Amino acid sequence: MLEIRWHGRGGQGAVTSVEMLALAAIGEGKHAQGFPSFGPERKGAPVAAFNRIDDKRIKVRSHIYTPDVVVVLDSSLVGLVDVTEGLKDDGILIVNTAKAAKQLKEEMNFKGTVATVDATRIARDELGVPITNTTMLGALIKVLKVVKLDSVEAPLEHKFGRIAQKNMAALKRAYEEVKIS
């Protein structure tokens, strides 16, 4: 079973990313969960959301404490929140940053795989706003290959309607531009 933890700030769309990934996986015949962790958060406050994906039925219904993958929508959270907490030693860290993956890996002293993409720049270019949820979803899909890129189109269209194509363009750019170390 693949377990993913997403870190973002309220209003950045971490919960939407989790939902889109779960729907894409289910659309491919996999079993998936997508759920947020809410407390007294408000817009701009750190939030976490989670995915589980498997080929068989998922029976566990708890938070994810030892994720295989962590996705960070806002790089300012790296020093504020321990985004690698519980991340498996051979885990994957995907961060929205202009920094090179190798540089971030060294700075964080992380032994696993690090992938970076300048999702904020891509979101501004494609969407006109720095909301990085679908952009980071594209990076995750490239790094993990957990779902096909096309499997995300229907959930995006359902969620975003007339702006779905802009979100898909941002997702595809991140898919192409993500760097892995």
- Which domains does the chain show, CATH number per domain? 2-180 (3.40.920.10)
- 52, 64 contact by CB (below 8 A): yes
Residue 86 has a pLDDT of 96
* pLDDT band at residue 36 using 50, 70 and 90 as cut-offs: confident
Could you report the per-residue pLDDT of 39-76, keeping only the tens digit for each?
655 677 888 999 999 999 999 988 899 999 999 999 99
* pLDDT band at residue 97 using 50, 70 and 90 as cut-offs: very high
Count of alpha carbons within 13 Å of 134, Cβ hemisphere only?
27
Could you report the per-residue pLDDT of 104-154, keeping only the tens digit for each?
999 998 999 999 999 999 999 999 999 999 999 999 999 999 999 999 999
Pick from 4, 2, 1, 173: nearest CA to 93 = 4
Averaged over 143-169, what is the pLDDT?
A: 95
Could you report the per-residue pLDDT of 78-96, keeping only the tens digit for each?
988 899 999 999 999 999 9
Pick from 51, 93, 90, 87: nearest CA to 75 = 93
Tokens, residue 172: 């595809």
Residue 46 has a pLDDT of 85
Residue 79 has a pLDDT of 84
